[in-house]
Amino acid sequence: MGRIFGTDGVRGLANRELTADMVVRLCQSAALVLTKGRHADELKAEGRRPRAVMARDPRISGEFLGAAVAAGLASSGIDVYDAGVIPTPAAAFLVREGGFDFGVMVSASHNPAPDNGIKFFSYGGTKLPDAVEDRIEEMMHEPALAPTGGDVGRIQRFADAEDRYVLHLLQTLDQDLGGLHIVLDCANGAASGIAPRVFETAGATVTVMGNDPDGLNINEGCGSTHLEKLQEKVLEVGADFGIAHDGDADRALAVDHAGRVVDGDQIMTILAISMKEAGTLAGDTLVATVMSNMGLRVAMSRQGITVKETAVGDRYVLEELDRSGGSLGGEQSGHVILTEHSTTGDGILTGLHLAREVHRTGRSLAELADQIEIFPQVLVNVSGVDRSAFATHPIVHAAIAAAAQELGDSGRVMVRPSGTEALIRVMVEASDVATAERIAESVAGVISKELALA
């Protein structure tokens, strides 16, 4: 069996790959690892058990998987505070703000409704490093803690979880958003109840869509992975711009008043320039992944801002931010981390501060986004292939090398197995779309032929 943790937690088809039994055992193992040595003396002196926050997005399988999480933790002597349906960054915030020992989020983020996943946050609300995830996997083969009597954990409702998070978001703003008309696409996900409330309280006029979750429609034709309806709605109502989240609201992408997409690289450019001017961009440095557009690096260089690169995944961005003391980082996909206010990507927080910048400058989102010139980029997902064979396949890597040589300094090619889906992703940037498409399809064709599953 391969490593069960991917780029962002453990994911799979609910009730097939991700079963209730597996989740119980996973959480029993996490209890062993994440509470070991954690405040042991204080807990003993206070006569209390370790505590964990549990939350989920609204997909239907989250109901039984959430019950499995609670069972796994409580049977390990952990007191569980069930925050219900809230965004992933809200769970991370509550772990940090409440001094909890760790947190568990049941969500498959932008994946379709049949999928689900388990994400863990350690003490302080941060995602787990690879070594800790590996330890949790190892401990799944060891005996569970299995206390009895009064030593088993209790499960209780975290009644004011949403209110605490909303207040936190609003307190990050130093001005209201009065005069702005914003369309919010909540992806029929965890942002559905919170995002409209936050933006309206901040003073914006809000048009809401994708805010009627039924457990099955999360991310379905809406949200940050399907921006077409948001583009139409912004034009229809004449809004200043629109913001789209994914199912667990740790991402934000935007659409300007003319219906043009503003992606994570453009959002980071806007925020980085503003923060540098305000003196709050630590080390005049932005942390981004290797998937960010070349245009981001060019724009940052022009502004005297250094770009540090990480592997794909917002937790790797966060690790670099922690290591270097950075204040801003993120991904092209819309995961943006503002370390002054959050320990993980937070879509609602990102949207608020993007709106703040539009309001503060009096410039349109389109004008602000034009501070970066995006290189044409083509992404091709290759399915039905053996991801495990990718790393050492000579013909595939020869095709990639040939593509890189052809592009030279005028572009780049990146190929990587997805950490969350059964795909290999081929990304090509070039000076024109036709060249990027031709090279991406060529490389993808070689991968599809050489790595095809039997």
198-202, 244-248, 324-328, 414-418: least confident range: 414-418
Q: Are residues 266 and 401 in the same domain?
A: no
pLDDT confidence of residue 40: 58
Among candidate residues 199, 190, 295, 305, the one with its CA nearest the CA of residue 245: 190
Q: What is the pLDDT of residue 211?
A: 98
pLDDT given for residue 38 in this prediction? 56
Catalytic residue among 29, 61, 107, 109: 109
The total number of structural domains in the chain stands at: 3
Domain containing residue 40: CATH number: 3.40.120.10
For residue 119, being part of any structural domain is answered with: yes
103 lies in a domain? yes
User: What digits encode the pLDDT tens for the residues 161-209?
Assistant: 999 999 999 999 999 999 999 999 999 999 999 999 999 999 999 999 9
What amino acid occupies position 292? S
pLDDT in tens, 90-116: 999 999 999 999 999 999 999 999 999
Which pLDDT does position 420 carry in this prediction?
A: 66
| Any domain includes 303 | yes
- Are 12 and 153 in the same domain? yes
Q: Is 327 known to be catalytic?
A: no
* 167 belongs to a structural domain: no
What average pLDDT score do residues 213-225 get? 98
**Minimal CA–CA distance to 15: which of 108, 87, 77?**
108
Q: For residues 210 and 346, state if they share a domain.
A: yes
CA terminus-to-terminus distance, the chain: 19
The model's pLDDT over 322-340, given as tens digits with 9 standing for 90+, comes to 999 999 999 999 999 999 9
- pLDDT(263) > 60: yes
- Looking at 324, 344, 369, the residue that finishes a domain is 369
Considering the domain architecture, whether residues 35 and 131 belong to the same structural domain is answered as: yes
Query: 34 falls in which pLDDT band (50, 70, 90)?
Result: very high
Domain end: 143, 162, 181, which one?
162
The pLDDT confidence band at residue 48, using thresholds 50, 70 and 90, is: confident
Residue 7's pLDDT band, with cuts at 50, 70 and 90, is confident
Domain that holds residue 189: 172-369
Residue 39: predicted pLDDT: 57
Asked if residue 308 and residue 203 are part of one domain, the reply reads: yes
pLDDT higher than 80, residue 120: yes
As a dihedral over the C-alpha atoms of residue 130, residue 136, residue 139, residue 144, rounded to 10 degrees, the angle is: 170
Q: Answer whether residue 409 shows pLDDT above 90.
A: no
pLDDT-wise least confident of 80-84, 147-151, 221-225, 411-415: 411-415
What is the distance between the alpha carbons of residues 347 and 145, in angstroms, rounded to a whole number?
A: 36
* Pair 357, 265 in one domain: yes
CA distance 430 to 227: 24
Q: Which two tokens stand for residue 231?
A: 């583009």
Instruction: Inform me whether the pLDDT recorded for 1 exceeds 90.
Output: no
Question: In the predicted model, what is the mean pLDDT of residues 337-356?
Answer: 97
DSSP string, 126-169: -BPPHHHHHHHHHHTTSPP----GGGS--EEE-TTHHHHHHHHH
Residue where one domain finishes, among candidates 338, 369, 400: 369
CATH classification of the domain holding 389: 3.30.310.50
Mean pLDDT over 292-297 rounds to: 92
Whether 46 shows a pLDDT value over 90: the answer reads no
CA 340, distance to chain mean position in Å, is 17
Fill in the DSSP letter of residue 408.
Answer: G
Pairing of strands 285-289, 328-330: parallel
Q: Are 23 and 109 in the same domain?
A: yes
Q: What is the pLDDT of residue 37?
A: 64
Residue 41: pLDDT band with limits 50, 70, 90: low
